[in-house]
């Protein structure tokens, strides 16, 4: 070490490339001209905060290798992932005292970025959670991101001078919102309706069916309610679910 005069004080800082973190020796070190000294220094973390977070239970079945997690301040990412153990993440972030911190999680399987509101206040050398108590993130998850397959066949319908035909439309509705459409197709001697129904993640939903016959512009409905199950199936092309239709008056 070199100094301009013997009254100068020095501080030590240590940077680790593995953790991408800076540590400091908080005791001032004084110049000793031509001297030699050996110190055992206790390093303190400087300018970073450790965050121990985990995914909510809703998202855990969709975890993939390509997922990613980050902490954000004012819309900008400010963290790195230091460790991941299944649904648990250990993040290290840089900020300023009092910054409000939110989180974003990218799900590779759902191709969606989930976000939290501000839920942590930054503090130098602070932590949120610990290695035995990970904080569950309040990620907003109620988005239409999941699907199920449903294959139907018409067992009975009530309408005068009407013959169901290829090209007719069967649609799934949750409330007034259309969640899936299938065109009638002839398969193995019968008309079937093969559709993908979209559901809302982590929301219990049921859907109803409505049928449109372009030939005479009739609209039919089915009185049965169907439960949406993410990744589930109703019927198949060889054994479709049979339904009964009634004309909407």
Q: How far apart are CA 137 and CA 118, in angstroms?
A: 11
Residue in 242, 239, 230, 221 with CA at minimum distance from that of residue 172: 221
Q: Are strands 9-16 and 21-30 parallel, antiparallel or unpaired?
A: antiparallel
pTM: 0.75
What is the predicted pLDDT for the residue at 59? 97
Point out which residues pair with 188 in neighbouring strands.
Answer: none
Residues of the chain with pLDDT under 70: 18-21, 44-46, 249
Rounded to whole angstroms, the Cα distance separating 195 from 24 reads 61
Residue 178 · residue 171 · CB < 8 Å: yes
What pLDDT is recorded for position 34? Answer: 80
For 229, residues 6+ apart whose C-beta sits below 8 A from its C-beta are 148, 199
Contact 64, 107 (CB under 8 A): yes
Name the β-bridge partners of 194.
Answer: 151
Strands 206-213 and 218-221: antiparallel
Report how far apart, in Å, the C-alpha atoms of 55 and of each of 60, 136, 180, 216 are: 6, 6, 29, 52
Q: What is the pLDDT of residue 21?
A: 65
Which residue's structure tokens are 């409905």? Answer: 221
The confidence score (pLDDT) of residue 2 equals: 80
Q: How far apart are CA 17 and CA 7, in angstroms?
A: 33
What pLDDT is recorded for position 36? 83
- Is residue 62 classed as helix, strand or coil in its secondary structure? helix
pLDDT given for residue 46 in this prediction: 61
CA-closest candidate to residue 81, choices 54, 99, 63: 54
């Amino acid at each position: 070490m070199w100094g301009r005069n013997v009254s100068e004080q020095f501080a030590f800082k240590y940077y680790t490339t593995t953790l991408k973190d800076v540590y400091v020796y908080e005791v001032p070190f004084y110049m000793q001209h031509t001297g030699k000294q050996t110190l055992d220094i206790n390093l303190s973390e400087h300018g970073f905060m450790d965050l121990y977070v985990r995914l909510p239970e809703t998202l855990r079945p969709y975890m993939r290798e390509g997922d990613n997690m980050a902490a954000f301040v004012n819309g900008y990412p400010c963290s790195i992932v230091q460790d991941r153990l299944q649904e648990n993440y250990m993040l290290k972030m840089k900020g300023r005292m009092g910054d409000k911190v939110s989180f974003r999680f990218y799900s590779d399987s759902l191709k969606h970025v989930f976000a939290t509101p501000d839920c942590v206040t930054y503090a130098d050398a602070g932590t949120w959670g610990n290695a035995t108590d990970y904080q569950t993130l309040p990620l907003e998850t109620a988005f239409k991101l999941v699907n199920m397959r449903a294959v139907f066949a018409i067992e009975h319908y009530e309408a005068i001078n009407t013959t169901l035909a290829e090209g007719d439309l069967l649609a799934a509705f949750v409330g007034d919102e259309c969640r899936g459409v299938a065109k009638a197709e002839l398969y193995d001697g019968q008309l079937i309706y093969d559709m993908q129904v979209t559901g809302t993640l982590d929301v219990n939903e049921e859907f109803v069916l409505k049928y449109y016959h372009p030939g005479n512009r009739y609209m039919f409905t089915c009185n049965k309610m169907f439960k949406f199950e993410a990744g589930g199936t109703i019927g198949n092309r060889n054994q479709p679910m049979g339904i009964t239709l009634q004309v909407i008056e």
